Amino acid sequence: MTSLTQRGFVFVMTIELILGICCNGFIWLMNCINLIKSKKMSLSEFVITSLAISRICLLLIIIADIFVLCYSNLDETSITLQIINTMWTFANFVSIWLATCLSILYCLKIANLSHHVFLWFKGRVSHVVRWILLASVLFSFFISLTLIKDFSVSCIYKQMTPTANCTEDMRKKKSANFLKYLLIALWMVIPFIMSLISHILIIHSLRRHTQQMQNNGTGSRDPSTEAHTRATKIILSFLFLFTVYVVAFFIIMFGSLLPDTKLAWITGEMFLAVHPFVHSIILIFSNNKLKQAFLGMFQIKK
């Protein structure tokens, strides 16, 4: 990678990371102020606040990753990079699952469907979201522990004198690691599918509601329809950003298989950093309290 390419990459990433940290920091600060004033926090506010905190941590880890890879001579087996990769994996999975929980929460609160399974989940929305959050955090922690164990084994192999048996063991270990990373990447598909299902249900609910309003001759601009339409636009934006995020994650995960590993990593990181910033902007302008506070900072009237 040339010096000019590296400088351009650092410049673009710096802008994305600063904007992402500022937007998520704003969400966290405003929700904390509302919590102090009202002495309570709704489930959606808790999920959004937790999502903002996880993204701030993720962006800070990406900053450390960029600094180490671009301005140091550490190789991929160094302890520093291994610790950063472990922290990145944990923060990434927590952030993804929090965003998925937010999509599920919107679906259960906004969509109007008569299926008994959907009604069962809708009546237990708080329990469903809490259990998903708990399971996602535990799984992310388990994956991080697995990476730490693998990194310690790699360090042992690195310190050993190369032999035929050692080389064969390293080859087997690389094959096992590839399978493990493939399973980790496939795990990303699960929250993506859950988010996609949530989006499809909301769009289906909007279509049914619009048809009912037209059949009743009451028009299609009632408050419920407008709420459905706003939610559909927001969630479609979430889905598009989530798709970009998953593609970037796969590029980073399997970058070692491409001819130019560093270029693949740069491309993945640049797309990865877009998601926390743009998604947070959408969250701010889709929430009345956050939107009023944000516009008030710039003395802009609604």
Worst-scoring range by mean pLDDT, 25-29, 92-96, 250-254? 250-254
The predicted structure's pLDDT at residue 158: 46
- Mean pLDDT value of segment 19-42: 89
Is 118 or 53 the better-scoring residue by pLDDT?
A: 53
The predicted structure's pLDDT at residue 286: 81
The predicted structure's pLDDT at residue 177: 56
In CATH, what number does 3-156+184-297 get?
1.20.1070.10
SS (H, E, C) the chain: CCHHHHHHHHHHHHHHHHHHHHHHHHHHHHHHHHHHHHCCCCHHHHHHHHHHHHHHHHHHHHHHHHHHHHCCCCCCCCHHHHHHHHHHHHHHHHHHHHHHHHHHHHHHHHCCCCCHHHHHHHHCHHHHHHHHHHHHHHHHHHHHHHHHHHHHHHHHHHHCCCCHHHHHHHHHHHHHHHHHHHHHHHHHHHHHHHHHHHHHHHHHHHHHHHHHHHHHCCCCCCHHHHHHHHHHHHHHHHHHHHHHHHHHHHHHHCHHHCCCHHHHHHHHHHHHHHHHHHHHHHHHHCCHHHHHHHHHHCCCCC
Mean pLDDT, the chain, rounded, equals 75
- pTM for the whole thing? 0.80
- Per-residue confidence at 255, pLDDT binned at 50, 70, 90? low
Tell me: the pLDDT tens digits for 145-185? 766 655 544 444 444 444 444 455 445 545 555 666 666 66
